[in-house]
Structure 1
């Protein structure tokens, strides 16, 4: 550990970064920084990451970083947990797994419990061929009965909420998420970094819940709160991308320029950040790209920038916007033959093409049944104006 601190001090001196400047960047007292650099207090994992970002100009830092990997060989249990949470939200699942294997045998109970939880996460998101939120939820619920530490229990609760969203169990999700945030804030998670990370996870879920319930202003307010946290923590890259996506989606139906700006910012971050070939990131990027396509077609703007080949439903909506009603309907009929039925969006498009109020009402009810009250505004707007 002394070797790491000596290297950091030498490099900070060479880079002409003063203690006052670094303390300000880390948002800690100069005396606290002095204690760290003098070796009296072990540097936290979070502060180490921030110093590396500041000192070496790195937009991201992985657990494979030479300084970080050396640090983790000697770091105290609390900092090992910081590293586990960091690797988890950074989607460094393979690096997280290596740390999990070590912490499974930790002398500290909370480390052993958290390591097991992250191991369950690794299994379902990396090992299992087809991720199933029901299986993930069942295993978490089973293990929750065995854990004793508040931190581990709260982590499980957060992951269960994520699974509930994926299971479309919105009623239980909304009730459960309201109870978790006070627990995190009530000093049940004393580590500031882990507490902050848990709050970020919770706010991400709350934003989605607000969007589903069509509480757009509350969703945007929470987005801005989360964006402030992300700006203070340069390692929250993925979370920042998610916030921009949520903001872009919130403006999707009412403000083309604002929606496009935020969605493109989200995509830019994911394209620039080093997430390698993570399948979840690939899925997020496809979702953003798909949303941008819908945005352009819906507002009929920048049509020349659309991909040459579109999905059948997008192509049908575009043909409708162009006034090619026969071609648009043919595409939707082809889609119906292919899938056996039309989803809520395609049903809405067909209702527009045929000027069929019954189909538009059907689409509205399909959105409502899926608890997608935000997108229910699409048919609702037309129904109110017919």
Structure 2
């Protein structure tokens, strides 16, 4: 006989983690996750209301997360109120409704009184540095996360934080060009998360991590990302894969048949791959922004060593990106 959800959530002797384990033995992950989402929204215990915030965040239930944030902010428990304010900042960062400076200002108004809150604060610092391409500044925050994680007592919260950390470490090691370590963390995320959005994003970045070495791996991961995004109706992932990542990979490997893009920079990249360098230059000169990729594309099109060297330094100095800095280096080797 199945216990009704409401009856279970009102039983203080149970909890979210055993509930999730129990439901996972009865249902598939795709069926169990929505049930667990409902549990989070109906939870009455303080700890379940807090853990539910991370569960909803990590599974992409943003609208439901907003609802649970408000519920925590209205709690009589001061700790729950603080968690509500913290996740309000995390959601604002994800939705890009606040700048990095505004997020830092918001952090100053939150009391950090537990290892869990310290972990959440450090994740926010990490994401702010990611947003400004300051990858080299992350090591001290990552070290702090390793120190704090064993202090998290709730097993489900520990697991969710650990998955977040693997996600962060994937990007960190990828940008440092330490690809074996990067991919190890990427596959950890794929094994640990049921979030289709997160899986799609990991496959997208895995595809890009193979661009310099294996076209087949690139396409396999892009196709898996597209399949997952289509199953969840995530149009932004579909758009960036079809019009930015797939054209980029195809142009790099000179496999351009049937590939098109509405991204002007990647249109130019495709023209370079086809040998239409003058057309590529015309496109690139009309772009209203500067970036290491634009400098690299112009350098490719003009066969200009100085521009390629500038692109290399821009990748390193402006983005701390040792992986994509290999692109202009490879082009320089070809030019001799």
Q: TM-score, normalised to structure 1's length?
A: 0.75
| Aligned counterpart, 2:47 | 78
Q: Deviations over 1:219-254 (max 9, x none)?
A: 112222333323xxxx33333223222321210121
CA pair 367-269 structure 1, distance change in 2 beyond 3 A: same
**Equivalent position to 2:274, from 309, 322, 327:** 322
Match of 1:381 among 320, 330, 334: 330
Q: 2:198 matched to which residue of 1?
A: 239
Find 1:332's aligned residue among 284, 295, 308.
284
Equivalents in 1 of 2:327, 2:225: separation in Å?
Answer: 24
Match of 1:11 in 2: none
Q: Deviations over 1:247-273 (max 9, x none)?
A: 212101210000111122123222212
Q: Residue 287 of structure 1: which of 240, 263, 269 is its match? A: 240
CA contact under 8 A between 1:89 and 1:238: conserved in structure 2?
Answer: no
The CA distance in 2 between the partners of 1:41 and 1:312, in whole Å, is 58
How do 1:1-386 residues align onto structure 2 when only pairs under 5 Å count? 3-4=3-4, 41-42=13-14, 44-49=15-20, 52=23, 55=26, 57=28, 59=30, 69=38, 72-73=41-42, 75-123=44-92, 125=94, 130-140=97-107, 142-144=108-110, 146-184=111-149, 186=150, 188-230=151-193, 235-273=194-232, 282-289=235-242, 290-301=244-255, 303-307=256-260, 309-335=261-287, 339=288, 342-369=290-317, 370-385=319-334, 386=336
What do residues 65-111 of structure 1 show as CA deviations (whole Å, max 9, x unaligned)? 5x854675354222222221111122322212222222224354432
CA separation of 1:288 and 1:46: change in aligned 2, threshold 3 A: farther
Q: 1:374: how far off?
A: 0.6
Q: Distance in 1 between matches of 2:199 and 2:144?
A: 24
The 1:45–1:352 alpha-carbon spacing in structure 2 relative to 1, beyond 3 Å, is: same
Q: Deviations over 1:141-162 (max 9, x none)?
A: x034x23122122112112211
- Would you say how many aligned residue pairs link Structure 1 and Structure 2? 330
Within 1, Cα distance between the matches of 2:12 and 2:121?
A: 34
Give the whole-Å Cα distance in 2 for the aligned partners of 1:195 and 1:329.
Answer: 51
Give TM-score scaled by structure 2 length. 0.85
CA RMSD, 1 decimal: 3.0
Give the conservation status (yes or no) of the 8 Å contact 1:4–1:71: no
* Cα distance, 1:382–1:91 mapped onto 2, change above 3 Å: same
2-structure distance, mates of 1:261, 1:3:
42
- 1:156 and 1:361 map into 2 onto residues whose CA distance is 38
Please, which runs of 5 or more residues in structure 1 have no aligned partner? 8-35, 275-280
Cα deviation, 1:113-159, whole Å, max 9, x if unaligned, reads: 21221133345555x8x43122112212x034x23122122112112
Comparing 88-97 and 212-221, the one that deviates more: 88-97
> Which ranges in structure 2 are unaligned for 5 or more consecutive residues?
none
Give me the whole-angstrom Cα distance separating, in 2, the residues matched to 1:361 and 1:6: 63
Verify the 8 A CA contact 2:136 2:320 in the aligned structure 1. no
| Cα shift readout 1:340-373 (whole Å, capped 9, x = no counterpart) | x543223222222222211211221121222121
